[in-house]
Amino acid sequence: MTTKPKGKSLRAIDLYSGVGGWSLGLRLAGIEVVASYERWGIANETNFKNNHHQAQTVDIRRLELDDLPADIDIVVGSPPCTQFSFSNRGGSGDLKDGLKDVIKFLEIVEHVRPKVWAMENVPRMAMIIEKESRKRGALHRFQSLGINSRVLNLAEFGVPQRRMRCIAGNFNFDLLDRYRETTPRLTLGQIIEALREKKLVDPIFGVEIAANELTDHVPEEPLNDEEVRINRAAKTTHTVYNAMSFPDRKDRPVRTITATCTRVSRESIVIDCPEQPGKYRRLTVRERASLQGFPLSFQFYAESYSHKLRMIGNAIPPAFTYHLAHALVGTQAEKVRALKVVGTEFKHAVPLAKSAPLERAGARFPLKRRFKFAIPSLQLKSGVRFEVSNRVDVEPVAWGVDFYFGTSKSIVSLRLDDHLQARLLKRMSRDLRTGVDSTLEALVGFLSGASFGDMQRIWSHRGPGATTPFMLLDQLDQAGAALALIFTKHERYTLAALHDAIQEEHGAGYADHLPGVNKLTRNSALIVAGLLVGSTANLHLEGNGIQRTRRIKSAA
């Protein structure tokens, strides 16, 4: 247990402190935060005005160890996680550069020699710590600091969010685990509804605040039809990642709150619009902050909307750091006061922060605006998909359908062209061809009458036109679903046609060894439907003067 003589508070410093998520949690647990260190100036302003301690704007990599305060009992912090996150280029960030901040953090711990310390980062950090702590690893020299790490779900510690984080330190993790038994679980819906009540009571900290003191709770305008379509597709039929709910479910903790998101990004949390039934909107700044475990009275001082989102998304939730702080000092579970008890000890900063101008739906987009969506009826999990996309690096912009399968490290494609279409049709029996023709004729009728030359201009909101990209996607979706249903009764044909297509593209000796080919075989009806729909579409897209050069990543 970490203790001080009676009447004296334990002293802590907060590294890579952001807006003060660590500092607030420690302060509510009775720990004095002597100083915090962060390179982003406006985050320091927010930290200082809310937590009332010395918040220094500094590049911690260049921080002189001798400039740190003496007699420090606790060191906490959250070194930047960008290089370690799988959201950064699929996990291909510069690990060596990212480790510089982790090493600096541990050098400070080594120099200050606190009784206990704790560090937070993305889940991947647990594996990196294990690997780099071995002989000849970058962190091996810090073994004397007693490094342990676990990946925790912060939803189990009072945060209404499924936020998985690696926590490393030299404290009693088993004691922290025991706090989960008495910590209430909160949902997205509970937060949303609490902020709609006439009597505003903080759903986490239990404090009642006046309506005129609730800042940053201005709803955006609802998503328009195009934004709803993009959000739904990005979440439910993403071309690579697994599906998620649309709109987000309110009966469970929310998904991870991120530092950046747009009105049409996969990361955005989208809810049924309480103010306008039948519509959808993103979360307000205040809803995001509450879901990150901040009190309703915590103020965020930034002039731009994106800066406020970044402040909140990068923070460590103080509802969690409060519990972690008690584990650092060894408080037994039965003696940890509930957040709704200690919440009365936090007073809002003065002056109240001003709400930032809201983001609005895009009126116009770049002429090179990209489009890439999977055809819903022709998609399997694990990256097997037929997708409609545009190539903006050629003139004119090229539109077409591509087919991908394989693994993340070995993506394979088949050319969807007139040659493939002819081979697929030639293999069909007369009876099967009769059943297929009506669906193909309907698709060809649409493709022949469509105005594909204007599609990029429409997609960029630069002018009117008769055919939108989503109209094309919907027609391909309908045709794909219809053909897949027909082909389910003709397995002999689909297996032979699929095998023939793969051999034609990749050679007879290699076709059976392609990654993911067994999955294609198990779903041959759907795959052959996609091959026929895609090759038919590309024939007509190219017939409109759009020459599409495909990018094929072979497994070879």
Reduced 3-state DSSP string for 455-493:
HHHHHCCCCCCCCCHHHHHHHHHHHHHHHHHHHCCCHHH
Amino acid at 6: K
Q: What is the predicted pLDDT for the residue at 553? A: 40
pLDDT at 363 (0 to 100): 75
Which residues partner with 399 through β-bridges? 390
Task: Determine what percent of the chain is predicted with pLDDT higher than 70.
Answer: 94
Q: Which of 216, 234, 242, 416 is nearest to 296 (CA)?
A: 216
Residue 441 has pLDDT above 80, yes or no: yes
Global pTM reads 0.90
pLDDT at 115 over 50: yes
pLDDT of 258 above 70? yes
* Predicted local confidence at residue 364, as pLDDT: 83
Q: Indicate which residues carry an active-site annotation.
A: 81
Instruction: Say how far residue 123 (Cα) sits from the centre of its chain.
Output: 14
Average pLDDT over residues 335-360: 93
Which of 13-22, 112-121, 235-244 is predicted with the least confidence, judged by mean pLDDT? 235-244
Per-residue pLDDT tens digits for 356-384? 999 888 778 999 999 999 999 998 877 79
Q: What is the pLDDT of residues 24-75, one digit of tens each?
A: 999 999 999 999 999 999 999 999 999 999 999 999 999 999 999 999 999 9
Question: Mean pLDDT across the chain, nearest whole number?
Answer: 92
CA quadruple 375, 503, 515, 479: dihedral, nearest 10: 10
Structural element, H or E, at residue 328: helix 318-329
Does position 555 have pLDDT exceeding 80, yes or no?
Answer: no
- pLDDT computed for residue 7 by the predictor: 65
| Alpha-carbon span 44 to 50, nearest angstrom | 10
**CA–CA gap between residue 473 and residue 377 (Å, rounded):** 10
Q: What is the pLDDT of residue 383?
A: 78
Q: Tell me which of 153 and 411 has the higher pLDDT.
A: 153
Question: What's the one-letter identity of residue 65?
Answer: L
> Does 92 have pLDDT greater than 60?
no
pLDDT at 5: 66
**Is omega for the bond preceding 351 within 30 degrees of 0, making it cis?**
yes
When pLDDT is averaged across residues 244-271 and rounded to a whole number, the result is 95
Going by pLDDT thresholds of 50, 70 and 90, the confidence category of residue 86 is low
Cα–Cα distance, 368 to 389 (Å, whole number): 12
Please, what sign has the CA dihedral across residues 175, 181, 183, 188?
positive
Task: Return the pLDDT at 445.
Answer: 97
Mean pLDDT, rounded, for 246-258:
97
Per-residue pLDDT, 544: 54
Confidence of residue 239 (pLDDT cuts 50, 70, 90): low
Mean pLDDT (whole number) for 241-256: 93
| Alpha-carbon gap, residue 169 to 150, rounded angstroms | 9
- Specify the pLDDT at position 84: 61
Is the pLDDT at 202 greater than 70? The verdict is yes
> Each residue of 474-509: pLDDT tens digit?
999 999 999 999 999 999 999 999 999 999 999 887
Q: Are 261 and 270 in contact (CB under 8 A)?
A: no
What pLDDT does residue 386 have?
Answer: 96
CB atoms within 10 A of CB 374: 24
The top-level CATH class assigned to 11-185+317-344 is: alpha beta
**Domain edges within the chain:** 11-185+317-344, 372-543
For residue 550, the model assigns a pLDDT of 44
